[in-house]
């Protein structure tokens, strides 16, 4: 059985997505919807990380329920920089790259939840299936958000 | 006949009536001092322009001037009544500081010029930018105070002519969530209910809606029900002790920003007690199971902790709502401008849906508007949506609009949702929007975080055009100022909250060289030489009535069908509710009768958005969710506000309005009686908080948030603990500094946060963390009104009243027309 491996990978991927959301949020503080939503949606991944750590115990894993975090100091430096950078047009191009990255990472997490859900069904582990069914819709919403923002921003940024 | 001080008694004299009865007529009149009704030269038909209620009135014309107003007894909306802003606000039309000549910026100063020079400068800059960058460089920011004909013209020239997606109205600040909530629940804008539901309802629930101040005449209708036999129960959700709260059977005063938790708590009780109409849900809705699952997490005790409202009071409100036989729900800024705006407003829809209370007398939803013509901004394309509720993400709708306009579908931008104003400000900030044409609104006072807004609008690289009737704070920053005619000086139609269309006729000439907004847009279209795909002029109309005829054609077969209306039909009688067409020649009182909706995938205006992320739903997703075109029950989890109180900023600041002022006071501040009733900014706090911070009534206090500071006199009011309130009306046009603070600010939006609801894109004005400190002792009480939500908790020695001679007449002898 390789469910443990899949859970470890998902734990890493959710952490990675949460970090990406927070970093993008901080980098684009002057784009207020990106700033606020990025933080809100990172919270969803944090919730998932706790649930993955909890269910992981059933599979002999010792995963950290707390999301990986950077120092608050680094965060503030980046935010301040973002406010100053916010007036330059190349920040806009960076935004497209960042949204694309969130979209790709969320798609990866989504695929991971699919894998786990399939496995849980196959082996009839209903607790694991519950977690997958509870969390996966959030991931799809994170992905749809990044996709929608990407489409919304692309025109103005690329033709202006 | 009775003379009444309508400043002291904003709702006038009671005319009680029973449930199911007809609201009696009361004709309100106010004429300039000494003018007898018999001496009036002409009465000219219109409706009110200083709020969204749509009260029908006639303008009294004397010697070519507006000399007063009289309510129209025949009209279904007000049956003769007028509110204080209607009775006194017209005086602003003849204010000596009206803009009468176009202005252009020369050597850093605005100087007078002629129309040709001003318009050539606007058209010339447009052409330069189109050549350099394309239409993405140009944005339009309109208002909720023009007429339908004008919005439609603006929409076609911006969308169909220039091809820019950057079109929005200041309705984004007042009514975007109303539209978004209706799109979520019914897949289409359009008010389900009717004002006549007040006549029948046995329970009326007002959510974040201080109707007594925002729609005084509709509130008078409720007061008359309350004074009559079998009055309705009133439920009020509001953190302030508003007149509505004081009249309420149950008043819930939640912590700002927690509306979704409260609504989920009410729905929890309604579902747990099975106060739901299973037959209706089964036959006419999708999504009920999701709601059941979602609200399981919100029992009253949990909600009581989140909202700081007693659990028993939540139960009591739910019991009233759950036992209602005819439930009317209304919603306004307390929900629309607060955290999770759309999600909260949608839960109000859900209550009426699960109770099967739609499309029947007394069973209605009024997702309110803030401004008189906000509905038209939404219908005709002034807010960036495609006209007549066409769906921008449905190619067939875009093609159909292209047919109506005779343009290539590719020339109508529809690759993404229209750019909302906050995003436009962002594009202007980073330099990709380089021309912004603002008309009839004042973002330099009304948008959040004014320091930022001023820095964006005053950029050298931004070409700012302002079309207005006064030199507003925003106009002072403009490169070109276009003097506009206003209500009473031009003809057009507009539509109120409950879909009632009124004709507003020209009564007098505009001052100086001021021109109707429609004429300014038509002039611009000519100068830009905008063409359809056959090389003919794109805009094929030349005046208000021909524009109305074109607009009617655009609405044919759509939900807001105007094809059965005409100026002739609207002249003389009552306003008429759309849809008005061959099938409904007298209009339509209520939508969604018998559970029939406009939500079929190929017909609907919108597929909806994710209530938290705001991501638009795609067509296949929507088709799978709602193939048969039912009402959509959308559940939402509570998410806390982004800025919460802290040690540094222990209060929550909410901003709002007062009965006597409108917007940034451009008109009401120039009407003597209205300005005198609410002359200066104030800050409200509870008696307990005042005690804690050693502040007293009338003290000068400084309110600070991470964005700025405002100084105001303290009013100790019935507001809930932990919350400060500032009215947003007070900018700088009547201060020496002109458009910005000189020292301490007084505009509430110096303090507000740049944040908006992701689904409706409506900025949030109700949740900012703030602190307050005393600057100095007062020389008397604050000048805030005493007969509204700002009423003092203990006597201050005077009460709000009008000046002698400015009373209004109330005539009870007139018999009304239709119901």
Cβ neighbours of A30 in B, within 8 Å:
426, 429-430
Are B182 and B299 found together in one domain?
A: yes
Please answer whether residues B235 and B206 qualify as being in contact, where contact means their C-beta atoms are separated by less than 8 angstroms.
Answer: yes
Is B804 a domain residue?
Answer: no
- Residue numbers in A near B614 (CB within 8 A): 33, 37, 145, 148
Does residue B109 sit within a domain?
no
The strand pairing partners of B609, in sequence order, are: B616
* CA pair distance B456, B103, nearest whole angstrom: 21
**pLDDT (tens digit, 9 = 90+) per residue, A6-18?**
999 999 999 999 9
- Domain assignment present for B800: no
Instruction: Provide the domain limits for residue A41.
Output: 3-159
Determine the distance from the C-alpha atom of residue B810 to the mean position of all C-alpha atoms in its chain, rounded to a whole number: 28
Handedness of CA B210, B213, B216, B220 (dihedral sign): positive
Asked if residue B496 is part of any domain, the answer here is yes
Q: What is the CATH number of the domain that holds B245?
A: 3.40.228.10
Last residue of a domain, one of B776, B796, B811: B776
pLDDT on residue B565: 98
Task: Enumerate the residues of chain A whose CB falls inside 8 A of the CB of residue B422.
Answer: 32-33
- Comparing CB atoms, the residue among B134, B430, B613 nearest residue A145 is B613
CB-closest option in A33, A86, A152 to B416 = A152
If asked whether residues B157 and B205 sit together in one domain, one would say: no
- Quote the pLDDT of residue B819: 40
B788 domain residue, yes or no: no
pLDDT number for residue B818: 46
What's residue A72's pLDDT?
54
Give me the residues paired with residue B486 across strands. none
Q: Do B432 and A141 touch (CB under 8 A)?
A: no
CB B329 within 8 A of CB B346: no
ipTM score of complex: 0.93
| Chain A contact set for B613 (CB, 8 A) | 37, 41, 141-142, 144-145, 148
Residues B323 and B442 in one domain: no
Which residues of chain B have a CB within 8 Å of the CB of A151?
A: 415-416
- Contacting B residues, span 731-770, partner chain A, CB-CB under 8 Å: 754-756, 758
| CA distance to partner chain A, nearest, from residue B275 (Å) | 28
In the prediction, which pLDDT does A92 show? 83
CB contact under 8 A, A141 and B615: yes
Q: How far apart are CA B11 and CA B34, in angstroms?
A: 24
Whether B432 sits inside 8 A of A156 (CB atoms) is yes
Question: Given an 8 Å threshold on Cβ–Cβ distance, is B133 in contact with A160?
Answer: yes
Inter-chain touch A151–B416, beta carbons under 8 Å? yes
B587 assigned to some structural domain: no
Distance between CA atoms of residues B29 and B58, nearest Å: 9
Query: In this structure, how many other beta carbons lie within 10 angstroms of the beta carbon of residue B3?
Result: 9
- Identify which of B432, B612, B616 has the shortest CB distance to residue A89: B432
List CB contacts (< 8 A) between B610 and chain A.
141, 144-145
- Any domain includes B581: no
Residues of A within 8 A of B416 (CB-CB) are 151-152, 154-155
Q: Which residue of B has its CA nearest to A157?
A: B432
Structural domain including B263 reads 176-368+598-632
Same domain, B335 and B425: no
**B478 found inside a domain:** yes
Alpha helix positions (H), B40-114? 84-89
Q: Are residues B362 and B257 in the same domain?
A: yes
**How close is the nearest chain B Cα to the Cα of A107, in Å?**
16
Tokens 């539509």 locate to: B495
Cβ–Cβ gap B614/A141 under 8 Å: no
Give CA separation, B131 vs B167, B460, B741, in Å.
Answer: 20, 20, 38
Q: Which residues of B182-199 are buried (b: 16+ CB within 10 A; e: fewer)?
A: bbbbbbbbbbbbbbbbbb
Q: What does the pLDDT read at residue B566?
A: 98
Distance from CA of A158 to the nearest CA of B (A): 10
Structure letter (DSSP) for residue B97 = T
- Tell me the nearest-neighbour CA distance from B756 into chain A, angstroms: 7
Q: List average pLDDT for each run of 10 residues in chain B, which is 819 residues long.
A: 96 98 98 94 97 97 98 98 98 97 97 98 98 98 97 97 97 96 98 98 98 98 98 98 98 98 98 98 98 98 98 98 98 98 98 98 96 96 96 97 97 93 97 97 98 97 98 98 98 98 98 98 98 98 98 98 98 97 97 97 98 96 97 97 97 98 97 97 98 98 98 98 98 95 95 98 97 96 98 97 91 71
What's the number of domains chain B is made of?
Answer: 4
CATH number of the domain within which A144 lies: 1.20.1260
Q: Which two tokens stand for residue B273?
A: 């007690």
Please tell me the distance from the alpha carbon of residue B686 to that of residue B649, in angstroms, as a whole number: 17
Q: Tell me: do B353 and B269 sit in the same domain.
A: yes
Residue of B257, B416, B616, B619 to mutate, testing the A interface (most A Cβ within 10 Å of its Cβ): B416
| Chain A partners within 8 Å of B615 (Cβ) | 141, 144-145, 147-149
The per-residue pLDDT for B805 is 79
Q: Determine the Cα–Cα distance for residues B452 and B430; give it in Å rounded to an integer.
A: 12
Convert the pLDDT of each residue in A103-128 to its tens digit.
999 999 999 999 999 999 999 999 99
Query: Are residues B191 and B321 located together in one domain of the fold?
Result: yes
Residue A92 to residue B430, Cβ atoms within 8 A: yes
B275, B244: one domain = yes
């Amino acid at each position: 059985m390789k469910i443990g491996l899949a859970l470890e990978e998902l734990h890493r991927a959710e952490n990675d997505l949460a970090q990406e959301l927070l970093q993008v949020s901080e980098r684009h503080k002057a784009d207020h919807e990106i700033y606020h939503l990025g933080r809100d949606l990172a919270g969803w991944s944090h919730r998932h990380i706790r649930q993955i750590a909890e269910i992981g115990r059933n599979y002999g894993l010792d995963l950290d329920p707390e999301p990986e975090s950077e120092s608050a100091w680094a965060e503030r430096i980046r935010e301040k920089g973002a406010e100053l950078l916010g007036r330059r047009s190349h920040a806009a191009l960076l935004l497209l790259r960042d949204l694309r990255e969130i979209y790709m990472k969320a798609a990866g997490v989504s695929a991971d939840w699919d894998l786990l859900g399939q496995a849980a069904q196959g082996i009839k582990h209903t607790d694991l299936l519950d977690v997958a069914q509870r969390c996966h819709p959030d991931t799809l919403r994170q992905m749809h958000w990044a996709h929608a923002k990407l489409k919304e921003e692309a025109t103005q940024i690329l033709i202006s | 006949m009775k003379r009444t001080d309508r400043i002291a008694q904003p709702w006038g004299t009671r005319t009680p009536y029973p449930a199911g009865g007809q609201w009696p007529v009361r004709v309100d009149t106010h004429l300039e001092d000494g003018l007898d009704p018999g001496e009036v030269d002409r009465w000219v038909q219109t409706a009110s322009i200083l709020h969204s209620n749509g009260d029908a009135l006639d303008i009294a014309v004397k010697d070519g001037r507006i000399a007063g107003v009289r309510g129209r007894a025949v009209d279904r909306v007000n049956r003769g009544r007028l509110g204080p802003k209607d009775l006194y606000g017209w005086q602003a039309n003849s204010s000596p500081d009206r803009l009468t000549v176009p202005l252009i910026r020369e050597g850093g100063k605005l100087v007078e010029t002629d129309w040709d020079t001003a318009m050539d400068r606007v058209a010339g800059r447009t052409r330069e930018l189109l050549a350099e960058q394309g239409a993405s460089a140009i944005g339009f920011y309109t208002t909720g105070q023009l007429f339908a004909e004008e919005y439609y013209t603006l929409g076609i020239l911006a969308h169909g002519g220039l091809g820019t997606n950057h079109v929005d109205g200041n309705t984004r600040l007042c009514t975007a969530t109303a539209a978004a909530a209706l799109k979520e629940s019914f897949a289409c804008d359009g008010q389900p209910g009717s004002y006549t539901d007040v006549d029948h309802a046995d329970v009326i629930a007002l959510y974040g809606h201080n109707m007594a101040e925002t729609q005084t005449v509709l509130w008078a209708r409720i007061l008359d029900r309350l004074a009559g036999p079998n009055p309705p129960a009133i439920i009020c959700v509001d953190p302030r002790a508003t007149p509505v709260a004081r009249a309420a059977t149950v008043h819930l005063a939640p912590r700002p920003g927690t509306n979704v938790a409260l609504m989920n708590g009410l729905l929890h009780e309604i579902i747990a007690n099975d106060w739901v109409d299973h037959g209706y849900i089964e036959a006419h809705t999708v999504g009920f199971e999701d709601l059941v699952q979602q609200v399981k997490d919100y029992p009253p005790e949990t909600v009581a902790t989140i909202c700081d409202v007693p659990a028993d009071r939540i139960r009591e409100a739910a019991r009233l709502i759950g036992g209602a036989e005819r439930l009317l729900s209304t919603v306004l800024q307390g929900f629309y401008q607060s955290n999770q705006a759309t999600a909260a407003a949608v839960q109000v829809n859900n209550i009426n849906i699960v109770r099967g209370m739609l499309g029947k007398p007394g069973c209605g939803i009024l997702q309110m508007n803030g401004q008189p013509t906000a509905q038209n901004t939404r219908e005709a394309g002034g807010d960036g949506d495609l006209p007549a509720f066409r769906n921008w993400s449905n190619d067939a709708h875009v093609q159909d609009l292209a047919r109506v306009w005779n343009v290539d579908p590719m020339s109508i931008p529809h690759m993404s949702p229209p750019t909302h104003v906050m995003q436009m400000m962002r594009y202007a900030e980073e330099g990709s929007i380089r021309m912004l044409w603002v008309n009839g609104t004042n973002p330099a006072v009304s948008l959040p975080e004014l320091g930022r807004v001023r820095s964006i609008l005053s950029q050298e690289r931004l070409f700012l055009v302002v079309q207005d009737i006064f030199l507003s704070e925003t106009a002072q920053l403009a490169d070109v100022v276009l003097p506009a005619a206003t209500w009473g000086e031009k003809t057009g139609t507009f539509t109120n909250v409950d879909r009632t269309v009124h004709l507003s006729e020209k009564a007098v000439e505009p001052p100086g060289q001021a021109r109707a907004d429609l004429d300014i847009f038509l002039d611009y279209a000519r100068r830009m030489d905008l063409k359809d795909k056959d090389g003919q002029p794109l805009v094929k109309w030349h005046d208000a009535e021909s524009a109305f005829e074109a607009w009617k054609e655009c609405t044919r077969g759509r939900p807001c069908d105007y094809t059965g209306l005409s100026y002739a039909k609207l002249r003389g009688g009552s306003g008429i509710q759309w849809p008005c067409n061959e099938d409904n020649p007298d209009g339509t009182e209520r939508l969604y009768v018998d559970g029939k909706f406009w939500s079929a995938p190929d017909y609907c205006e919108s597929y909806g958005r994710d209530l938290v992320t705001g991501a638009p739903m795609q067509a296949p997703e929507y088709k799978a969710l709602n193939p048969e075109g039912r009402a959509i029950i959308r559940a939402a989890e509570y998410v806390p506000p982004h800025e919460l109180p802290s040690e540094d900023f222990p209060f929550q600041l909410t901003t709002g309005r007062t009965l006597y002022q409108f917007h940034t006071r451009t008109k009401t501040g120039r009407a003597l009686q209205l300005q005198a009733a609410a002359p200066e900014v104030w800050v409200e706090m509870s008696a307990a908080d005042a005690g804690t911070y050693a502040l007293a009534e009338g003290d000068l206090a400084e309110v600070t948030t991470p964005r700025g500071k405002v100084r105001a006199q303290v009013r100790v009011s019935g507001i809930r603990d932990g919350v400060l309130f500032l009215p947003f009306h007070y900018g700088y046009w009547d201060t020496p500094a002109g458009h910005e603070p000189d020292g301490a600010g007084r505009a509430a939006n110096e303090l507000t946060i740049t944040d908006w609801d992701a689904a409706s894109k409506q900025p949030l004005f109700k949740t900012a963390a703030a602190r307050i400190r005393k600057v100095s002792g007062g020389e008397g009480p604050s000048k805030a009104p005493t007969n509204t939500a700002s009423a003092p908790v203990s006597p201050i020695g005077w009460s709000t009243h009008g000046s002698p001679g400015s009373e209004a007449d109330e005539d009870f002898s007139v018999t009304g027309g239709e119901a």
